[in-house]
Amino acid sequence: MLENIGINWIKKNLFNTWYNSILTIISVIFISWLGSGLLTWIFTTADWTVLKDNIKLFFVGTYPVKLLWRIYLSLAIITILGGISWGIISSKTNLFNKQNLIIIFSISITSIIISLPLGRQTGITLLGLLITIISSGIIGQKYLSKVSFFTKWLSLIWVITFFLVTGLIEGGLFLEPVKIDNFSGLLLTLFIAIISIVICFPLGILLALGRQSKLPIIRWLSIGYIEIIRALPLIGILFMAQVMLPLILPPEVRPDRVIRAICGLIIFASAYLAENIRGGLQAIPKGQTEAAKALGLNTPLMLTLIILPQAIKAVIPAIVGQFISLFKDTSLLAIVGLIDLLGISQSILANPKFIGKYAEVYLFIALIYWIFCYTMSLASKKVENN
Amino acid sequence: MFKNKGNFLLLTLLILVTALTACTQPTNTTKTETKPTATNSRLDTVKTRGKLICGVNGQLPGFSFVDQNGQYSGMDVDICKAVAAALFDDPTKVEYRNLSAQERFTAVQSGEVDLLARNTTWTISRDTSVGMEFAPTTFYDGQGIMATKASGVKSLDDLSNKSVCVQSGTTTELNLTDQMRKLGLSYIPVVFDDADAIYAAYQEGRCDAATSDRSQLVARRAILPNPGDHVVLDMVLSKEPLAPMVVNGDSPWFDTVKWVTFSLIQAEEFGINSKNLATFTNTEDPSIRRFLGLEGQLGTDMGLPNDFTARIIKHVGNYGEIYDRNIGKPFQLERGPNKLWTEGGLLYSPPFR
């Protein structure tokens, strides 16, 4: 029975006409030629010890070993909150639908497989995170979704967590501080990407509104900013921030290199984001504005309650696309001397023990970038559907 | 998207506040110092800070990279450690900054780093118009050529009409062209943008020879499948003296870095290393007593601890130890010009007196 379905599917989709049959055969030959080469390399030629020996470096770089518990704690907080939010959002639906089960299954398989090249600890950590997210998801759905405090203030809790986690990682107050300039590896990539995304979003909204403003000075300034920044290459802005800024500023003022990089990324991304959001604003029918005015709402209320929610919803895919490209653009920081994920990889490759292992290392970080970008696009799909 | 509108309003407000607070963050700055004067040298700044900020490459085998434990390691890194050991008796009191080739000089000029130990070739323009001050050379490098033994290449003449892998946009490419033009020979350049690509191509036999700095060639030869089949030719196409450097016009700080470097060389000449240092504390040799700060006040006179050389040797070792640890042992590279002058090399320290 199942066999018949399979054969029928193949007949229908791969061999329905003579030219499709030829295409199928050629593709299969090409893919198997490429795939077998890749697989042979992965299992025989490649030397994965470079990943196993440097796994900590890839993820947290030179973060002090005795303070690593802070990273683990932050990871746990985020995972638990993520699980709870997942549970609350899907309070009315099944937590374990087909798609989610497939994701859970593939993550657990992956965590077992990666234990081979990366060491048992990495696999166990990943598996632990998965269990945490599932159990907190169940708790969220079963219990917390009935507590109105959680459902109402979920976004507020996230904002507080954001500050809590950055504070935890950076230190300060009663914790031993870790200088932001000493962040490296994936930690730095994420730190820069998340802060840039969080800040460039409201700036982009303001710029988009400014561009639509009736006040000429605000409008001209916004248009000028957007058009000038969009005409510059990102690497140019980053070089400006890293190399030129110290020469221009007075010697007493010396912002951290990481802060300079974040500012560069924000300056760049907010201009693009503004154009995306403007697209959303222009998609809102005029009637909405008129209706809001007729109800007696003032401009800020009208914008925050009526216009922006609709406008942003309309352009979620474009905005997330912008965020994904911002995340990947952080790899340019390796060129200006920051030790992000790419930078730490190059540094690892300079270790005399691992010279020439670039294929393994680059493949690995490509996989990390892919996981984060794909997660973002999955999340945006979810938000769109709700 | 949001369950109620109040929630959305609140979130927007919060994000705006976040943006505002974050934008004021750049005021979270580290105070750096005003222009160095006779009384206000970077030496004092570093001492008060209790930490040395050292600009490194961070991605160059043998010179500076991050090892498996997340610690910086390499030849250039050891120079930074030596300065920190001299000042603080603690080689870990260094903060490393990875600098790209483009920003390295700006970082020194703007005072972002105290010292640059980033495989930088000492040239006249960098020493004068760029406004740098070079400490003594710590590594004499030079451009070399690697070829397979089977190809029979022994000199530049043998490269006529052969293909050579070379990195684009570097002085190596220009040097090779110059040399071949001088000899009136033609060759086929195979140009790559990335060092890894050069050796991958060379390994696949896409070029008969590869050219780069000799230290790099030797490092790469060691990881080829059959290192014995390849040979790094003896001739040197260019002079690349690599030296640490500081900003122009700050004599006390420049003297510190200069004499820390010299003391590494002098220690090797005296035969003092990190293992036998203790045996020299009772020595009768007046020059060694002066050198180690047991007699006189050479260190105190220049604003350093009197036993700064002993501290350097204790924590970092002498030049020979540094060389063997970072270059000699991992890459099997002969000392060559990096030998002491007494052994026919170029390393020479003025007397400590």
Q: Say whether both A203 and A265 belong to one domain.
A: yes
Q: Say whether both A279 and A383 belong to one domain.
A: yes
ipTM above 0.90, yes or no: no
Which residue type sits at A200? C
Of the residues A144, A177, A210, which one is the last residue of a structural domain?
Answer: A177
Q: Does B64 touch chain A (CB under 8 A)?
A: yes
**What length is written for chain B?**
353
Q: Say whether both A260 and A156 belong to one domain.
A: no
Q: What is the DSSP letter of A233?
A: -
Residue B17's pLDDT is what?
52
**Contact in structure between A250 and B26 (CB atoms under 8 Å):** no
Q: Say whether both A10 and A89 belong to one domain.
A: no
Residue A57 in any domain: the answer is no
Within chain A, which residues score under 50 in pLDDT?
A: none
For residue A64, give both structure tokens. 């002090």
For residue B16, give both structure tokens. 């705006």
**Contact in structure between B158 and B152 (CB atoms under 8 Å):** yes
Residue B91's pLDDT is what?
95
What are the pLDDT tens digits along chain B (353 aa)?
444 444 544 555 555 555 544 444 443 444 444 444 446 799 999 999 999 999 998 888 889 999 988 899 999 999 999 999 999 999 999 999 988 887 889 889 888 899 999 988 898 989 999 999 999 999 999 999 999 888 888 888 888 889 999 987 677 888 888 889 998 989 999 998 777 788 889 988 899 999 988 888 888 887 788 888 899 888 888 888 999 999 999 999 999 999 999 999 999 999 999 999 999 988 999 999 999 999 889 999 999 999 999 999 999 999 999 999 999 888 888 898 999 999 999 999 999 98
Same fold, B42-140+242-342 and B143-238: yes
Residue A350's pLDDT is what?
87
Residue A186's pLDDT is what?
94
Which residue type sits at A176? E
Nearest CB among B16, B109, B331 relative to A352 is that of B331
Q: How many whole angstroms from its chain centre is CA A18?
A: 44
Give the separation between CA B245 and CA B105, rounded to whole angstroms.
10
**Contact residues, chain B, for A198 at CB < 8 Å:** 15, 18-19, 22
Residue B14's pLDDT is what?
52
Task: Write the CB contacts of A233 (distance below 8 Å, at least 6 apart in sequence).
Answer: none
Residue A14 in any domain: the answer is yes
φ/ψ region of B119 (left if φ > 0, alpha if ψ in -120 to 50, else beta) reads left
For residue B310, give both structure tokens. 């002993």
Residue B24's pLDDT is what?
42
Residue A55 in any domain: the answer is no
Cβ–Cβ of A350/B61 closer than 8 Å?
yes
Residue A154's pLDDT is what?
82
Q: Tokens 């920051």 appear where? A: A338
Q: Chain B: give the shortest CA distance to residue A61, in Å.
A: 7
Q: At what angle do helices A186-212 and A148-170 cross, to 10 degrees?
A: 120
**Contact in structure between A69 and A76 (CB atoms under 8 Å):** no
- The H or E element spanning position A371 is helix A358-385
Q: Say whether both A212 and A326 belong to one domain.
A: yes
Cβ–Cβ of B99/A337 closer than 8 Å?
yes
Q: Does B177 touch chain A (CB under 8 A)?
A: no
Residue B197's pLDDT is what?
84
Residue B39's pLDDT is what?
60
State the first-to-last Cα distance of chain A, in angstroms, to the nearest integer: 37
Spatial CA neighbour of B107 closest among B39, B169, B56: B56
Nearest CB among A159, A247, A356 relative to B14 is that of A159
Residue B36's pLDDT is what?
46
For residue B256, give both structure tokens. 């510190």
Class of domain B143-238: alpha beta
Of the residues A177, A204, A238, which one is the last residue of a structural domain?
Answer: A177
Q: Say whether both A36 and A68 belong to one domain.
A: no
Which residue type sits at A257? R
| Total count of domains within chain A | 3
Give the separation between CA B41 and CA A136, rounded to whole angstroms.
58
Residue A205's pLDDT is what?
94
Q: Say whether both A169 and A201 belong to one domain.
A: no
Domain extent at residue A149: 64-177
Give the separation between CA B215 and CA B201, rounded to whole angstroms.
19
Q: Say whether both A238 and A329 belong to one domain.
A: yes
Identify how many contiguous H helices and E strands chain B contains and give both numbers. Answer: 14, 14
- Cα angle B23, B26, B32; round to 5: 170
Spatial CA neighbour of A334 closest among A361, A305, A370: A361
Q: Say whether both A291 and A149 belong to one domain.
A: no
Residue B313's pLDDT is what?
96
| DSSP labels, B161-208 | T-EEEEETTSHHHHHHHHHHHHHT---EEEEESSHHHHHHHHHTTSSS
Q: Say whether both A171 and A192 belong to one domain.
A: no
**Span B42-140+242-342: which CATH code?**
3.40.190.10
Nearest CB among B58, B60, B70 relative to A56 is that of B70
Strand (E) positions, chain B? 52-56, 65-66, 72-73, 94-98, 115-116, 132-134, 139-141, 143-148, 163-167, 188-192, 209-213, 230-232, 240-242, 245-247
Q: Say whether both A147 and A237 belong to one domain.
A: no
Of the residues A141, A156, A177, which one is the last residue of a structural domain?
Answer: A177
Q: Chain B: give the shortest CA distance to residue A57, in Å.
A: 6
Q: Say whether both A123 and A202 belong to one domain.
A: no
Parse chain B into domains and list their residue ranges: 42-140+242-342, 143-238
Residue A79 in any domain: the answer is yes
Strands ordered across the beta sheet of B52-56:
B94-98, B52-56, B115-116, B245-247, B132-134
Give the separation between CA A225 and CA A219, rounded to whole angstroms.
10
Nearest CB among A247, A352, A358 relative to B110 is that of A247
Task: Write the CB contacts of A6 (distance below 8 Å, at least 6 apart in sequence).
Answer: none
Q: Chain B: give the shortest CA distance to residue A386, in Å.
A: 6
